[in-house]
Amino acid sequence: MGYIGKRSAQPIILGALKRLEYRGYDSCGFAVLSNGKIEVFKERGSIDELEKALSGVNVGGTVGVGHTRWATHGEPSRRNAHPHTDCKGDIAVVHNGIIENFQHLRETLAAEGHVFRSDTDTEVVAHLVERYYNGNLEEAVRRALHEVKGSYALAILHKADEKIVAARSRSPLVLGVGDSEFFVASDVPALLEHTNRVVHLEDGDLVIITREGFRIENGGNVVPRKMETVLWSIEDAERGGYEHFMLKEIHETPRVIENTLATHLRDGVLGGVDLDLDVPQSSEILMVACGTSFHAALVGKYVIEELASVPVRVELASEFNYATTPLSRETLVVGITQSGETADTLSALKRAKAAGCATLAITNVLGSSVTRLADRIIYTRAGPEICVAATKTFTAQLITLYLLALHFSSIELAERQKMLKELRRLPTAVQRVLDAEDEIKEVSGRITSYENVFFIGRGISFPVALEGALKLKEISYIHAEGYAAGELKHGPFALLTEETPVVAVVAPDRTYDIMLNNIKEVKARKPPVIAVADEHDEEIEKYVDFVIRTSHVEPIFSAITNSVALQLLAYYAAKERGCEIDKPRNLAKSVTVE
């Protein structure tokens, strides 16, 4: 967030940051230009805590930038909170995104004598601007950004200039236009209290903002950008215009996949995957998790066994903690938890450590409890998830598990490269599933009036079916069960009638023919059958009543595209039933009791 105008910057920035707290909440800070000096204030925790620390003091100044952080590089702490400054404290930078080549830049700058005071990727930007500053801030920022790879929305101040220089690349940034005052922010809700006239900046845009006006450049040329009037309320705007956080978060999936890949794929690293992990000497991997993360683990088992030929056992953390199953020290125990706080998963990892096993955690939250417990951590990069039902974090976990499988795998180079290429194609494939959401919405209408739905799948599609059923039941309150397709005849067949829809997840893999047989058996009992199937599958229509088509990907990656389709199916079913969606009854996002 940035402000330049005639009013005092501090209360405007802090008020705006409160509106952005849903994007980040582990630490925050701001910088203002006051009497020719940059004054920086930061705190771990919420904006309220920062305000408490300021105890009513307004540091003055009418130009400033601020930030609310959701840690990605470096634990949540005061020193890692933004703004970050250069060596002399003349330049202040706030940043949303990931500087992918920060390690290299940091080493180069440190060798030139720059002293770093945080663990963040962002700090390199402050030092780069310092390196190039020669009396002209925008010129220094231009040159600095030339060296930066990654995603960013940046707002930058220099003590000698009453201006803000902001830039955007693959992270949202919007300019707010008031009367002789201007705002820049990652999202519209930050501005709406002050203005509804906005300019959405585009990738590559650099904007120089003074009290007199602004100039937007792209590739060195001044470019025109349209001013728009926002008609949303602040609450609508927080959800980016989506009716629910769940829908917004599902729509963030392509970016989440990109971010997670950008963090863990590296040119020049053996095999392309850079997880900073030894390939285990372990004879076995044991995964422990709860809820949606447990389903991710089940997909992970399939993928790791297929690509790396290491046997994988998956246990519900809550069961594992009371089991007497012997644990061998040779077992690598992997805890999967998006929040990093689930009590059962933490206990399971403690039990594993006590037994002398190596532990690895996959989590979405930097500095969460699990990060202090496990020997090694791999972060997913999904950003904060507000809706109780996990969606984008599940996909990020799957991506991480594919990477883990490739990391452990000794498949041939050509095959590995093919897999990496497919992974990189996934954001586009998922986007195509999202683009077809109207069709999914229509199909969801076929299940909303029923009270029981079965989801079936085989192989990798079995956990996808489990997760599809979980999503549906938790947000639409329709009773849904996920089943291995071959198991239906061992019990659930007794329940199949015209009133019991069955959703069949069909991947074009070695389970395909037998899956068609299972669908035929189901159909004979009259339930309406909906298939989730590959767009190139020409057979499936003959077997089922409705088909949700998903983009063609290598079958092993169909877990991603099919899960996103099932998330949308659950969402639209819940919406049609008038459910609350983001906060389902009786459920919590983070379950910190056993």
Name the residues that contact ligand G6P, by CB under 6 A.
290-293, 337-339, 342, 345, 388-390, 587, 589, 591
What stretches of 364-501 adopt beta strand conformation (E)?
Answer: 376-379, 452-457, 479-484
Q: How far is the CB of 243 from ligand G6P (least distance, A)?
A: 20
Report the 10 Å Cβ neighbour count for 267. 6
Residue number with CB closer to ligand G6P (389 or 485): 389
DSSP conformation letters of 179-239: SS-EEEESSGGGTTTT--EEEE--TTEEEEE-SS-EEEEETTEE-----EE----HHHHHT
Residue number with CB closer to ligand G6P (122 or 293): 293
Q: How far is the CB of 377 from ligand G6P (least distance, A)?
A: 14
Q: How far is the CB of 249 from ligand G6P (least distance, A)?
A: 11
Q: Please name which of 385, 357, 360 lies closest in space to residue 371, comparing C-alpha atoms.
A: 360
Report the 10 Å Cβ neighbour count for 178. 15
Contacts of 267 (CB under 8 A, 6+ apart): none
Q: Please name which of 191, 258, 267 lies closest in space to residue 227, comparing C-alpha atoms.
A: 191
88 — phi, psi (to 5°)? -85, -10
Residue number with CB closer to ligand G6P (262 or 591): 591
Residue number with CB closer to ligand G6P (151 or 391): 391
* 3-state secondary structure at position 50: helix
Residue number with CB closer to ligand G6P (144 or 581): 581
Contacts of 520 (CB under 8 A, 6+ apart): 543
Report the 10 Å Cβ neighbour count for 313. 15
Residue number with CB closer to ligand G6P (172 or 291): 291
Question: What is the residue whose two structure tokens read 């230009």?
Answer: 33
Taking a C-beta distance cutoff of 8 angstroms, is the pair 84, 120 a contact? yes
Q: How far is the CB of 455 from ligand G6P (least distance, A)?
A: 17
Taken in order 182, 187, 192, 195, is the CA torsion positive or negative?
A: positive
Residue number with CB closer to ligand G6P (466 or 519): 466
Q: How far is the CB of 256 from ligand G6P (least distance, A)?
A: 15
Structure tokens, 214: 């602004």
Residue number with CB closer to ligand G6P (94 or 398): 398
Q: How far is the CB of 85 from ligand G6P (least distance, A)?
A: 34
Q: How far is the CB of 77 from ligand G6P (least distance, A)?
A: 22
Residue number with CB closer to ligand G6P (494 or 587): 587
Q: How far is the CB of 338 from ligand G6P (least distance, A)?
A: 4
What stretches of 422-517 adopt beta strand conformation (E)?
Answer: 452-457, 479-484, 502-506
Question: What is the residue whose two structure tokens read 């799957």?
Answer: 398
Q: How far is the CB of 339 from ligand G6P (least distance, A)?
A: 3
Residue number with CB closer to ligand G6P (34 or 369): 369
Q: What long-range pairs does 542-545 form, CB within 8 A, spacing at least 24?
A: 543/516, 543/519, 544/504, 544/519, 545/446
Residue nearest to ligand G6P (CB): 291
Q: How far is the CB of 145 from ligand G6P (least distance, A)?
A: 36
